Amino acid sequence: MTDETGRHRGMNDEAPPGADQYTAYDDFDLPSYVGLPSFQKLPWITDAAELARRGPDVAIVGAPYDDSTSHRPGARFGPRAIRAASYMSGDLNSLQLGIQPYDWLDVVDAGDAPITPMDVERGHAVIERKVFDVANSGAIPIVLGGDHSITYPSASAVARHVAPRRLGVVHFDAHADAANSTWGNLRSHGTPMRRLIESGAVEGRNFVQVGLRGYWPGPETLGWMRERGMRWHLMTEIEQRGAEAVVADAIAQALDGPEVVYLSVDIDVIDPGMAPGTGTPEPGGMLTRELLRAIRQVVGAVELAAMDVVEVAPPFDQAEVTSTAAHRCVLEAISALAARRRDAGRSPRAG
């Protein structure tokens, strides 16, 4: 519902004088815990034809799949938790970027890919189709995982959509996820980056990883990564040079040839002290504020084709700290997209 100025009311706004008590607020303006649990209470539009007719700027997509995890399961519950991880409703104002993103972007929630458990091939197939349909509507898909295996079908769909333009990837993660297999599973959450490169969807030299640390992968995988020209930045480099400088290098590397970028954020890039709800926690990671700033930095500098946020496993974080961080990753991307539109001299949305 809008007020007399035509803008949406937020959580701190009063109802207009004389408004009917029952209808004073519509669902968008009600508290975040009331009504349809879409992302940020945005319009829920799951039909591909309806999406195409509306042509939104951004569409949230759920990929509730975790049958490819190697350690702690639970990321199938990630999309629902990320959607719910907000105390805010109504219009938003980014203090960091000085913008109200929904004044500039039409953002909707396109619902979930119709996943069923225990079927890797089908799970990935329906994710790819869902993301492709969303991209074809003209929207930038922002995909909520799910384990990291979902990046293979999601980025494949985006690469197919943007062709013949080339797709670069900026990948924030504690782990390279470029193994050949995990106990024989070629589509595990430790293998999606290799599958993307082997399939030809993305070239290795256009694949940049940030935040790697710990004790995996081993020499074979690292050797394969070097042979394909993949580039990566360890946490030790972030500690020495600062995240902003490292991310600037990653952006330049990802755009070394490609015109558009897919941004993949594994929430375990954050130190597990700040994001414990994930399948493979790795000590010594980025601060949450560093990651949020990095997302603003990437999205503000590239033409974003799509994004995913993965590996949020709510059963391991009853305080919802991890899902809140993931929710903010999405909001920072949306706000940076809006600021990019504003700074390019484009007009706010009509109405």
Asked whether 173 and 269 are in contact (CB, 8 A), the reply is: yes
pLDDT tens digit sequence for 256-267: 999 999 999 999
pLDDT on residue 236: 98
The structural domains of the chain, with segments of one domain joined by +, span 1-27, 31-343
pTM greater than 0.75: yes
- Cis before residue 314, ω within 30 degrees of 0? no
pLDDT tens digit sequence for 280-317: 999 999 999 999 999 999 999 999 999 999 999 999 99
pLDDT on residue 239: 97
pLDDT tens digit sequence for 141-151: 999 999 999 99
Strand locations in 15-174 (E): 58-63, 107-112, 140-145, 167-172
- Name every residue whose Cβ is closer than 8 Å to that of residue 302 and which is 6 or more positions away in sequence: 168, 170, 251, 254, 255, 260, 261
CATH number of 31-343: 3.40.800.10
How far, in Å, CA of 86 to CA of 81, rounded?
A: 10
